[in-house]
Amino acid sequence: MMNNMSNFMPLVQELQEQLKSMTVKVSAGEGSVELVMNGNQEVVQLYFKPALLQDPAQLAQLTANAFNEGMRESKKMVREQLSKITGGLAIPTVPGLI
């Protein structure tokens, strides 16, 4: 088992690097807020309709909604990529990935 882990860790490290450039795009409020997040769960881009500046509470809520959806989608993407390198083996969490 330990030998398999030593073979697995370089693949995980490579995946961590790849995830920096892999992104998901989500929106909230029928496109009023759009967010792009990478596979490391970092916000890469945020767009909102200027009219939302007139309603800061709605802007905050829609941004939070988009962020939460981005986190879900990004983690899903990571799990799918991780599944590819593990041959479909279900791994609950890998530190530094999800």
Residue at 96 is within a domain: no
Q: What does the pLDDT average to over 5-31?
A: 87
pLDDT of residue 21: 93
Query: What is the longest distance spanned by two Cα atoms in the chain?
Result: 59
pLDDT digits (tens, 9 = 90+) for 37-84: 999 999 999 999 999 999 999 999 999 999 999 999 999 999 888 888
Residue at 42 is within a domain: yes
pLDDT of 1 over the 50 cut: no
Give the structural domain span for 69.
Answer: 24-85
pLDDT of residue 2: 46
Give the Cα separation of 24 and 34 in Å (integer): 11
pLDDT of residue 91: 60
Residue 91: C-alpha distances to residues 16, 24, 26 (Å): 15, 22, 26
| Helices assigned H by DSSP within the chain | 2-19, 56-86
Domain CATH number, residue 43: 3.30.1310.10
Give the Cα separation of 94 and 92 in Å (integer): 7
The β-bridge relationship of strands 33-38 and 23-28 is antiparallel
Residue at 43 is within a domain: yes
Number of domains forming the structure of the chain: 1
Task: Give pTM, 2 decimals.
Answer: 0.79
Residue at 69 is within a domain: yes
Residue at 8 is within a domain: no
Residue at 4 is within a domain: no
